[in-house]
Chains A and B, each alone.
Chain A
């Protein structure tokens, strides 16, 4: 995208950014440094555009429709936790690195922290709250209980949603494959062996 910005600039000024930097050298580099050195600078809008309007989005979560008016920046994870008070999905890293926020979107596991709520219109979202049928636990929940697949429990909703997705995807059969296919879910308590046992039980059932 930068290439064509450069093209446009060249059309306007008869010089490209590259040539410009070459011409003014350090003076221009100094200007570029300002936003870098001042943290506050990076909080200011880059141009005059007004802040974006809130948008209305209709989400299908665990089979029921929820209509929300949101800032466009709200992630699916924050919409679930902050707007819908469904705090089962956890925030570990907020950057796709831990799996605590894993939910199922149209049956496939995703990281809800790297997905915008406004992008979910028309998607069936299933969270840990939606797995049980009334009082009857989902087989994966029951297996995690039986095999002690957790200690503190913080990673557990993500682990269980991920494990449900894994079984549905059907690509993991050996212990090694299951471990690899669960590698997107980090457990600080190290309950990995018991999680493996729980998944194997559900898979062979």
Chain B
């Protein structure tokens, strides 16, 4: 790990001032940034500890939505009664990720910003456009069983690893940030970037911008929702595929649906096309299968990950079936 200066800031303005200089990085839970610093993948000269900021609240809003502070721990969010009741898919997604210890440390903001687990990104012995722009992508020609099939480019095929983000993508959460130039609200779909020719650019934040909170919009039918994660072992493992879904079923017809996939995309992957296919159909296997085929229509496999296309479809069909049966 490279030496760095450690600064503990008391409030948001101080955090923003400290962030813009000296290749600074914020540290919240530390579970991703320290992991990467130990491996010399991230080398900030200054670490800005934001844990003193008062961003720990989960507030129910007048409009029926919920506002989540950036420092709310993943475990506190997952077990929050209002989240469990109104957005079960989010609670389930978070609890399917990492371990209880890590969830006690990890924060909402840090989870949004976590970086890929692509093994070649994690080893400085290999070429990786994300780690060293322009150096090449060892995964494309290498062992790519864990890599993405949607949203990939010739420069990077890394998956976005977060479970929480898949549920937030389905919900259409809004990320609120504050920087030297003021505040902004970023729709979830615009927050993470596709790799394109610049896989090292992963999100929409400026250097001095801090995530202050995430707003979950009101979505009454999200009470009927579910997150399903498929992985190599039963627990404590990243997704091979996952699906976050919500269904609005009235009089035996799907009135509206939300569908997002994890483990397959270079960013948390909402499929509006699959949602549109489901709308107006009866909640049955044929409809779910149609939605799954639509969601994976543009999938592009590599040498070792073609299995993910079928697995993702089955994961989605299963998640929709379970959700459809929720009374």
Contact = CB atoms under 8 A, between A and B. Distances in A.
B3 A45 contact: yes
B4 A3 contact: no
A42 interface: yes
Given A72-B3, A72-B5, A72-B6, A184 B200 contact: no
Contacts of B40: 42-43
A114 B6 contact: no
Interface in A106-135: 108-111, 114-116, 118-119, 121
A143 B47 CA distance: 42
Given A47-B23, A110-B104, A1 B207 contact: yes
7 contacts: A4-B207, A47-B45, A49-B45, A95-B38, A119-B51, A165-B101, A184-B101
Interface stretch (B129-137, B298-306, B315-323): B129-137
Interface residues of B, number: 51
Nearest to A183: B235
Given A47-B23, A72-B47, A110-B101, A171 B79 contact: yes
A65 interface: no
Given A18-B198, A118-B6, A183-B99, A111 B204 contact: no
B57 interface: no
B38 A46 contact: no
Nearest to A8: B207
Contact of B34 (A21, A52, A75): A75
B31 interface: yes
B135 A29 contact: yes
A62 to B, nearest CB: 19
Nearest to B76: A108
A111 to B, nearest CB: 5
A136 interface: no
Interface residues of A, number: 57
Contacts of B132: 32-33, 35-36
B236 interface: yes
Contacts, number: 144
A97 B89 CA distance: 25
A55 B5 CA distance: 9
A112 B1 CA distance: 17
B34 A114 contact: yes
A63 interface: no
Contacts of B98: 96, 184
A166 B101 CA distance: 10
B31 A114 contact: yes
B236 A73 contact: no
Nearest to A112: B101
A52 B6 contact: yes
B34 A162 contact: no
Contact of A162 (B22, B75, B101, B133): B101
Contacts of A185: 99
A71 interface: yes
Interface in B9-62: 22-23, 25, 27, 29-31, 34-35, 38, 40, 43, 45, 47, 49, 51
Given A36-B127, A110-B101, A162-B101, A52 B135 contact: no
A78 to B, nearest CB: 11
Contacts of B1: 73
Contacts of A6: 201
A28 to B, nearest CB: 6
A67 interface: no
A7 interface: yes
